[in-house]
Structure 1
Amino acid sequence: MALLRNLVLLIAACWLALIGSAAWAQGPHIRASLLAERPAAPGETISLAVLMQPDKGWHGYWSNPGDAGLPVTLEWTLPPGASTGALEFPVPQTLLLQGLMNHIYEHDYAVLVPFTVPKDAQPGTVLPITAKANWLACTEAICVPESAALQGTVTVGSGPADARFDGWRAALPAPLDRQGTFAASAAGWRIAVPFPAGAAIGDPHFFITGEGIADYAKPQAFSRIGDTLVIELAKAGFASPEAPLSISGVLSLGTGAKGESLGGIAFTAVPGTVPAGGTPLGKGSGPVPFSAATLVLAILGALVGGLILNVMPCVFPILSLKALALARAGSHNAHVEGVAYTAGVMLACMALGAAMLALRAAGTQVGWAFQLQDPGVVALLLLLAVAITANFAGLYELPGLSIESSSGTAKGGWLGAFGTGLLAAFVATPCTGPFMAAAVGAALILPAWAAMAVFAALGFGLALPFLLLGFIPALRRLLPKPGAWMERFRRAMAVPMGLTVLALGWLAWRLGGPAYAAGAVALAVLVVALLVAIGRAQRQGLGTAKWALPGSLVLAALALAVTPRLATAGPGGPVEAGLLDAKPFSEAALAEARAQGKPVFAYFTADWCLSCKVNEAAAIERESTRDAFKKAGVVVLVGDWTRRDPKITSFLSQQGAAGVPLYLWYPAKAAAPQKLPQVLSADFMAELPKG
């Protein structure tokens, strides 16, 4: 079949050449040259490069050109004792024309050839090398057979290398150190390729080297199952009824978020088991299918996550003060404040979710709580926490958080409740609760409207306790009766908010370094001074000073625009080995540990993630965990997401999580990781290697 196909293509090429004789007469449309990597010692093997440079609009072909075309072929004339190896082609591109799939290069490319210098060559000798090259140059309309007598030399000895070979070698597919497996399916072939779950992949395509196995032009399907990539190919129309002994080829990984090439891998698959299921990938596959059950579970998970956020130290004080203010005000307009507070919370959550989806659609790798990876936002949060703490401490009155405010008065009302809802949702994101990362992660694979429903459910869960207080008088009656104790309670609530301030100050140091943290703290001191002056004016019956709002806006602008300039650049915070001797997470480190057959515990954390730090203190950084992991030879990898890190964000998304914490357990011989609960215990971690 291969001979017949090539004969047909050659006849077609000659016919098209006659039609395009005017263009042919202008000279070669792909210029070829022969280059040596560097001088070489006797018996040493170096690389030669056949550099192919197509004119604009023309292209050459890969070793298997696909449904049409011919690759470059070489007939060597070498010095006695010299030898060459197999041609090494870079990762190709696809070109579909009139139902025919072509494997091509529309840009300059180099075919590398191993060349071994004769063992008896004398140093200083210049070895002449000649190759008769033939290839097919095509546009989308015509094809022209071209040829050239290529000449080059290799000097026997030592000397500098041609720097271009580094780039040409990087364009070659990386050989996979493990075999894949393949099995027949109703439509064709399913191929399982070992491929780390954390490895980036764009719009993949599998270029098969064998002929008569697959239909090149039929769509290919890709899915990921943990550390396995599954490729589905359609059988060729003239395929042999017998299964091939192996299937080999090059998997192009496509392009990344910024348009950069992700390269490719070369592998061979043998008959074996191919897992079912997985998460679909690839351009043209459309939105990832989802069921109503998936959406319902994601919404319920977000709702529960929002409810749990109410007991976190950065939210509970605000909720408590608003609830007591509502109880003191009685039933007058309670439902109005409940709705307004809910609207503020849901609007903030949906706005953050929409911003995350928009940034991801634009190619920026971000996840939930992405704003906490921005030094300007953290500085602003620090100032807000300081302002709330000062209010709780009684330094000044903030109408929306005042116990004295009542519904319908100038100090309270729906506007204050709405603003408080916005504030509560904004400051809640550092206190990531259980179930929330998984629920928001599910939103990333849903259509936009469904994802927004998940974010709305998160906000609704956060606002639900206050909403119920607003609409159910019996719940308000369960609250303690108003009295002098409320002022003492308010001041007590300054303690957890003060701890939040300290935590944000520590985060500022971890996120941007000492200079940035010092700048943020200096602004916080100015905020306190401003609020003290405002409080003095309020106690004297002068109301809020006219310069209070401009002063607040100036300090906020300084926090957002100036302090980030003091932050130390670079993604990720410093990783501390701790008791488990953890190493920084990377795809290479994960692949290396997996290749060695060792169990791996990979966890992803951030300094602003409260539940992450609780798990680390209570379950991970424990002597019992250390001893169990050491006995089992577990490799521990930690991904620090304190600062924005596109690689970690991409890995989280591939695991179905939009944020941290994420805990993965890779058993020594299992193909896919186990996703662990978001709430860990010391006993659970100690028993993990035994399972």
Structure 2
Amino acid sequence: MLTALSIVLALASGLPQTNAHGQAQTQGLALTQLPAPASGPIRVEAVVVELVSRQSAVAPGQTLELGLRLQHDPDWHSYWRNPGDSGLPTQLELTLPAGFEAGAIQWPAPQRHFIPPLANYGYEGEMVLPVPVQVPATVEGPSLRIEGKASWLMCRDICIPGEASVALVLPVVREGAAPPSTPHAALFEAAQARMPTELLEVAVSVEDERLSLGLPEPLSSAEFFPLREGLIRNAAPQPLYAIEAAGQPPRRLEVALVSDTAKAAAAAPKTALEAAEGVLVADNRVFELRPVMAEQPLPAGVEIARVAGAPDRAPPSASSFRLPGFWGGSAGERAVSSNGPTPGALQIGPNARGESIGGTNSIGDTDSTVGRAARGSAPDASVDFGLVNLLVAALFAVIGGLILNLMPCVFPVIGLKVLGFARHGGSGDAAQIQAARSASRASAWAFSAGVLASFWVLAAALLALRAAGQAAGWGFQLQSPAFVASMALLFVAIALNFSGVFEFGTAMTRLGQFDSAPRPSKRRRRSSLGRSFGSGVLAVLVATPCTAPFMGSALGFTLSASAVQTVIVFTALGLGMALPYLLLGLFPAWLRWLPRPGRWMESLRQALAFPMYATAAWLAWVLGQQAGIDSVLALAVGAVLLALAAWLYGRFVQRAQVARLSLTAARRRRILAASLAVLALAAGLTIAWPTADTLALAPVTSETRGAEGLPGSAAAWQPWSVDAVARARAAGRPVFVDFTAAWCVSCQVNKQLVLDRASVVQAMARADVLRLRADWTSRDPEISAELARHGRNSVPLYLLFQPGQEQPAVLPELLTQGIVLEALAGLGSAH
């Protein structure tokens, strides 16, 4: 029951909370916290947005040209109305006074961004999306305030949803006056130059998977942008042909259809017409197409121009794989190599150097403020990286899952698995041995099912958060104080169970627990399988604070992978974790190497309660880091009430002495004890649960939280920020960044045994290394984005920026003093 409760709490607490506006977005985005509506520019991550106007005042009875100005950081881009193979269109919802009427966003023609084998449509640099507003004949008051809510998706090598509440205050002039233009008028003019201003009727024919557009003018170049998603192959080339035949259009533009569209078009011409709806950029002009079906297939013609498509494959470097500490070279080279792709991350798919720019048509300067092609972009969303890359990521996930069994956070569960295995000592007659082996196999499958089901739940939660625009990674549940509190109470309950206070599924974490009878009842078999399934769930719950070698790279693959690929990687991770127990269950003969059952098993079970108590204490400390000391007191009171409930249940319900009592009296006594236990449990959960007021007293972000909040921190540790790294690198100073979290066991072990040891601290001081700590204990979008930028969605991550090196060195997840000191020794040679 407690295990199931924790799963529910994990899902509930892992979802983003409703923002202050409480509004659902049309694209399903749950985005970063909104600033209050304000006039002027607002920066959200890599984009500055602002509600602007072409006119400097509101004139009654005239059209007011508003617009959403977006100024992207270098190499970042947002999306057109049809984003292409991935992405989301920008949205603007205006709140206007009565009588005002806003039109739809006017979309300048985009450019294609190639991410082989896909392509997207969008904008880069500074630009504006105009929105016409019809002003009524009468406007009250000397000024007008217009508010709106903008949402967009910004992408570079990662994609981050953005949202902002924007506002604009304009004076009202008398009727008939013509207000002057604002400084933003140039942006509106640049956008207007990319607007479709002419209607062009085109003849349409379909042959196989080729859509032909018959153009009535002898154009020298042309590029087609479809209005509807999913009908054409956006990354395919678009050849332009000259037709000399009489009675035929002088030009034919060929567009590749997706297979389903081609089949549908062959059966219904309407599909072909829908696929041909769009915008054509040709000879410094922008047309809106009006497609009509051709009476007969258009002639082939002679090719005179071509809009290039995406390359057939990404550059070789884009599909390279590197894991520090495992492949090639000396230890120092493996740990600190910074040549080529970013080491330490599983680099899959196109990187920042492997993208090309689509299109041969441009209107005006290609570096104008409107819609330059995205240079240096990597996968925007769910990109199909190919079978080989997926298999490598899955292999790393299996290895990481195997190693995860050896991590300290999983140790208590492993000890209990030993108890379960030891019970298969092979004693008894042949029927009992055969029954034991059969039950062992069934329980092995049940345990594996519990592990896999838990990993699937985690994958589904991550995909849901990703679809909602939230950056989440391995262990994201522990960023929620509610989940941390529930996990702490769960570990207290398990520890009390191991200590013998009450008996609640004593074999919950045993694999292959079986009835010694030759033919156990169906009820007992189902109970045994349920306990084994719960064992797998619990193993995954306690494993989430740990990141094993290989896991970081494999999980980093899921940042831009499709939903199916993400589920495959998480399935491989679960299989790796369950594999040892599955093998022992399927091959019972191996169990003879384990000690025979005996009284030592009960002693071991009780001894393993203390690691559980220690884990609960550690989680209480994590909760204090997230929500303040008052939350720790509430958790402690809740734990006491939970212990009272467990004692009442164990003493008066499970082990009640009823020999001197009548059946009715014994039943009443049990009911009373059970009721008091339920009340105590409910009170404990209510008191321990972090409230909104408690969380408000302890806000934690990467900017407000310093290194002093973490254990064993030397005074030299400074809070991480992008600006701090940039300033230090500009000054030629080496930088070491520790991406960590209070709930990450591996992080804490590395701190205590390596990073805060005197030899390492002194070596960093001698090399004048700036030590920055990025604390991901609570959800932090900036840290999430930085982790994703380096191909990770989990901690720990250790980066060493060396002067003169473009990319940082990535150290392994499990550190030793030798690895760090050798990496620091390389700084001396760099100087």
Does 2:620 align with 1:505?
Answer: yes
Equivalent-residue separation in structure 2 for 1:97 and 1:510 (angstroms): 46
Equivalent-residue separation in structure 2 for 1:319 and 1:454 (angstroms): 23
For 1:626, the equivalent position in structure 2 comes to: 761
Q: Provide closer, same or farther for how the CA distance between residues 423 and 359 of structure 1 changes in structure 2, counting only shifts above 3 A.
A: same
Letter in 2 for 1:303: V
Does 2:729 align with 1:597?
Answer: no
Does 2:420 align with 1:325?
Answer: yes
Equivalent-residue separation in structure 2 for 1:297 and 1:590 (angstroms): 32
- Maintained 8 Å contact 1:599/1:635: yes
Give a deviation string over 1:574-625, Cα, whole Å, max 9, x none: 3226337122111111221222222221120001111111111222112222
Q: Provide closer, same or farther for how the CA distance between residues 616 and 472 of structure 1 changes in structure 2, counting only shifts above 3 A.
A: same
Q: Provide closer, same or farther for how the CA distance between residues 105 and 373 of structure 1 changes in structure 2, counting only shifts above 3 A.
A: closer
Give a deviation string over 1:268-324, Cα, whole Å, max 9, x none: xxxxxx9xxx76145xxx633423332222222222222223233443323332442
Equivalent-residue separation in structure 2 for 1:600 and 1:322 (angstroms): 43
Does 2:722 align with 1:587?
Answer: yes
Q: How does 1:465-504 map to 2 (within 5 A)?
A: 465-504=580-619
State the shift of 1:398 in Å.
2.1
Does 2:393 align with 1:308?
Answer: no
State the shift of 1:461 in Å.
2.0
State the shift of 1:94 in Å.
6.1
Equivalent-residue separation in structure 1 for 2:583 and 2:676 (angstroms): 35
- Maintained 8 Å contact 2:637/2:687: no
Q: Which has the higher contact order (CA 8 A, sep 6+)?
A: 2
Partner of 1:414, secondary structure, is helix
Match of 1:639 among 765, 774, 779: 774
Letter in 1 for 2:472: V
Partner of 1:395, secondary structure, is coil
What fraction of aligned residue pairs are identical, expressed as a percent?
Answer: 33
- Maintained 8 Å contact 2:638/2:688: no
Higher mean alpha-carbon deviation, 505-514 vs 532-541, is at 532-541
For 1:427, the equivalent position in structure 2 comes to: 542
Give a deviation string over 1:513-569, Cα, whole Å, max 9, x none: 111111111111111111111221322367896438845873585278555642334
Q: Provide closer, same or farther for how the CA distance between residues 389 and 62 of structure 1 changes in structure 2, counting only shifts above 3 A.
A: closer
Equivalent-residue separation in structure 1 for 2:616 and 2:182 (angstroms): 74
Equivalent-residue separation in structure 2 for 1:50 and 1:585 (angstroms): 40
Match of 2:466 among 355, 360, 363: 360
Q: How does 1:97-496 map to 2 (within 5 A)?
A: 104-106=128-130, 232-233=356-357, 280-282=378-380, 287-328=382-423, 330-401=436-507, 406-407=514-515, 412-496=527-611
For 1:172, the equivalent position in structure 2 comes to: none
Give a deviation string over 1:139-160, Cα, whole Å, max 9, x none: 96769xxxxxxxxxxxxxxxxx
**Residue segments in structure 2 that go unaligned for 5+ positions in a row:** 1-52, 72-104, 113-120, 133-179, 199-236, 239-283, 285-304, 319-340, 344-350, 425-435, 659-669, 827-831
Give a deviation string over 1:136-180, Cα, whole Å, max 9, x none: 87696769xxxxxxxxxxxxxxxxxxxxxxxxxxxxxxxxxxxxx
- Maintained 8 Å contact 2:440/2:513: no
For 2:656, the equivalent position in structure 1 comes to: 540
- Maintained 8 Å contact 2:635/2:688: no
Letter in 2 for 1:585: W
Letter in 2 for 1:643: S
Equivalent-residue separation in structure 1 for 2:650 and 2:736 (angstroms): 52
Q: How does 1:558-577 map to 2 (within 5 A)?
A: 558=686, 562-563=690-691, 565-567=693-695, 568-572=697-701, 574-576=705-707
Q: Provide closer, same or farther for how the CA distance between residues 626 and 131 of structure 1 changes in structure 2, counting only shifts above 3 A.
A: same
Q: Provide closer, same or farther for how the CA distance between residues 94 and 600 of structure 1 changes in structure 2, counting only shifts above 3 A.
A: farther
Q: How many residues align?
A: 498
Equivalent-residue separation in structure 1 for 2:68 and 2:588 (angstroms): 78
State the shift of 1:634 in Å.
1.9
Does 2:640 align with 1:525?
Answer: yes
Equivalent-residue separation in structure 1 for 2:616 and 2:67 (angstroms): 62
Letter in 1 for 2:543: A
- Maintained 8 Å contact 2:397/2:550: yes
Match of 2:792 among 646, 657, 661: 657
State the shift of 1:491 in Å.
0.9
Letter in 1 for 2:732: G
State the shift of 1:572 in Å.
3.5
Equivalent-residue separation in structure 2 for 1:373 and 1:658 (angstroms): 13
Partner of 1:315, secondary structure, is helix
Letter in 2 for 1:385: F
- Maintained 8 Å contact 1:380/1:559: no
Q: Provide closer, same or farther for how the CA distance between residues 333 and 464 of structure 1 changes in structure 2, counting only shifts above 3 A.
A: same
Letter in 2 for 1:106: P
For 1:18, the equivalent position in structure 2 comes to: none
Does 2:682 align with 1:554?
Answer: yes
- Maintained 8 Å contact 2:485/2:689: no
Does 2:804 align with 1:673?
Answer: no
Equivalent-residue separation in structure 2 for 1:94 and 1:483 (angstroms): 76
Letter in 2 for 1:652: L
State the shift of 1:399 in Å.
1.6
For 2:630, the equivalent position in structure 1 comes to: 515
Letter in 1 for 2:786: F
Q: Provide closer, same or farther for how the CA distance between residues 482 and 582 of structure 1 changes in structure 2, counting only shifts above 3 A.
A: same
Letter in 2 for 1:600: V
For 2:819, the equivalent position in structure 1 comes to: 684
Q: Provide closer, same or farther for how the CA distance between residues 353 and 248 of structure 1 changes in structure 2, counting only shifts above 3 A.
A: same
What's the TM-score once normalised by structure 1's chain length? 0.62
Equivalent-residue separation in structure 2 for 1:52 and 1:562 (angstroms): 49
**Residue segments in structure 1 that go unaligned for 5+ positions in a row:** 1-48, 64-91, 109-129, 144-185, 188-210, 255-263, 265-273
Equivalent-residue separation in structure 2 for 1:291 and 1:101 (angstroms): 25
Partner of 1:665, secondary structure, is strand
Partner of 2:423, secondary structure, is helix
Letter in 2 for 1:386: V
State the shift of 1:56 in Å.
5.4
- Maintained 8 Å contact 1:443/1:454: yes
- Maintained 8 Å contact 1:369/1:430: yes
State the shift of 1:389 in Å.
0.7
Match of 2:108 among 95, 104, 109: 95
Partner of 1:649, secondary structure, is helix
Q: Provide closer, same or farther for how the CA distance between residues 237 and 333 of structure 1 changes in structure 2, counting only shifts above 3 A.
A: closer
State the shift of 1:421 in Å.
1.6
Match of 2:745 among 607, 610, 632: 610
